[in-house]
Structure formats: structure tokens, C-alpha cells
């Protein structure tokens, strides 16, 4: 079976070209075990996919500027949400908990990404029998929390 190879065009442009070699057909001995004649042999093909970004850098900069004042602010979760990745407290309901917005992940390296939960929020949870609180992060949408404190 042929190994997959990929080459990436210059990252300074807004489009990236991905090339992947499709696997060659299976040998005839594989088809001998199946019923019916083997499929016709195909020549090796290359699959080319072009990914382009239709978002201008001004739109991305405006999105980052709109999210910047929200970073570092205290928030309270308003939606009924359960998280399962906290080892010390499995099946944790975080509705009503307060945390701090640490990062906006909707923009990465100057390009918009499809983060459906773009706000990274840090929480601290006191666990019985442990002196220090457990710190964990949850990614949230903007409609799942409200800002607490000074406006």
C-alpha cells in the first residue's frame, strides 16, 4: 500500500494546497477470496484540495479587538452544563459557578478558526480532603455565561 504524502504551499498566502496520494488497488490475491471478478485496475491518481480563506484580515482584527476586553473578566455560568473531564469531580454541573475568561480561541495566528466554543474559562473547585482547590478549564460560548462585577 502506498504511503500518504502531503505537501503544503507557502503559508504566507491565504490559500493552502494539500496533495494526497490515493492508495493503490489491493493485490489480486485479496480479490481471489471474494466472490466475483476483481475490479479493473486503476492508474494512481492524485487528489488535490485547495483551501482558501475568504475572510479579510480587517474582519479578523475587528473580532480580536471585540474579544480583547472580555479576557480577564470574571464570569458566571448561566446555562445548565455538565463537564466530565475534571478527574477529582466527575459529572460536575458548572451552572452558577464563577470563573475567569483566560483566552479567546476563535482567532489563531491571525486567522479565524471554527471554534464553536471560543471562550476558555478557568475555574477553581474546592474538593473535600484537599488543601488546594482543583483548577480546570472549560470552553464556553458567549451565551452560556454572564459577566460578574464591574461593567
pLDDT tens, the chain, 151 aa long: 455 555 544 444 455 556 666 666 655 555 455 566 666 666 655 555 444 455 577 788 888 888 889 999 999 999 999 999 998 888 899 999 999 999 999 888 878 888 889 999 999 999 998 899 999 999 999 999 999 987 5
Q: Identify whether residues 39 and 62 lie together within a single domain.
A: no
Same domain? For 39 and 96 the reply is no
Q: Are residues 83 and 135 in the same domain?
A: yes
pLDDT at 65: 87
Answer yes or no: do 81 and 47 share one domain. Answer: no
pLDDT at 4: 53
Q: Give the separation between CA 93 and CA 67, rounded to whole angstroms.
A: 26
- Examine the domain organization and report whether 101 and 124 are in the same domain: yes
Looking at residue 122, what is its pLDDT?
Answer: 97
Residue 138 domain-assigned?
Answer: yes
What confidence score (pLDDT) does residue 22 get? 60
Q: Does residue 8 belong to any structural domain of this protein?
A: no
Which pLDDT belongs to residue 52?
A: 47
Strand residue runs (E) in the chain:
15-21, 46-52, 74-77, 82-83, 92-93, 98-104, 107-108, 111-112, 119-125, 134-140, 145-147
Q: What is the pLDDT of residue 71?
A: 94
Residue 6 forms part of a structural domain? no
pLDDT at 3: 53
Q: Count the domains in the chain.
A: 2
User: Same domain for 21 and 86?
Assistant: no
Print the domain residue range for 19.
15-52
**Secondary structure percentages of the chain, helix, strand, coil, to 5:** 15, 35, 50
Q: What is the pLDDT of residue 51?
A: 47
Amino acid at each position: 500500500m502506498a504511503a500518504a504524502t502531503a505537501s503544503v504551499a507557502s503559508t504566507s498566502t491565504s490559500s493552502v494546497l494539500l496533495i494526497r496520494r490515493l492508495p493503490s488497488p489491493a493485490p489480486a490475491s485479496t480479490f481471489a477470496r471474494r466472490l466475483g471478478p476483481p475490479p479493473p485496475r486503476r492508474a494512481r491518481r492524485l487528489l488535490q484540495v485547495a483551501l482558501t480563506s475568504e475572510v479579510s484580515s480587517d474582519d479578523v482584527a475587528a473580532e480580536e479587538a471585540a474579544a480583547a476586553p472580555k479576557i480577564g473578566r470574571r464570569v458566571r455560568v448561566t446555562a445548565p452544563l455538565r463537564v466530565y473531564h475534571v478527574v477529582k469531580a466527575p459529572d460536575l454541573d458548572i451552572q452558577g459557578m464563577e470563573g475567569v475568561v483566560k483566552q479567546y480561541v476563535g482567532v489563531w495566528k491571525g486567522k479565524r478558526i471554527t471554534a464553536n466554543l471560543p471562550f476558555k474559562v478557568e475555574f477553581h473547585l474546592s474538593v473535600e480532603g484537599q488543601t488546594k482547590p482543583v483548577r480546570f478549564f472549560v470552553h464556553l460560548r458567549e451565551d452560556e455565561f454572564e459577566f460578574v462585577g464591574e461593567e
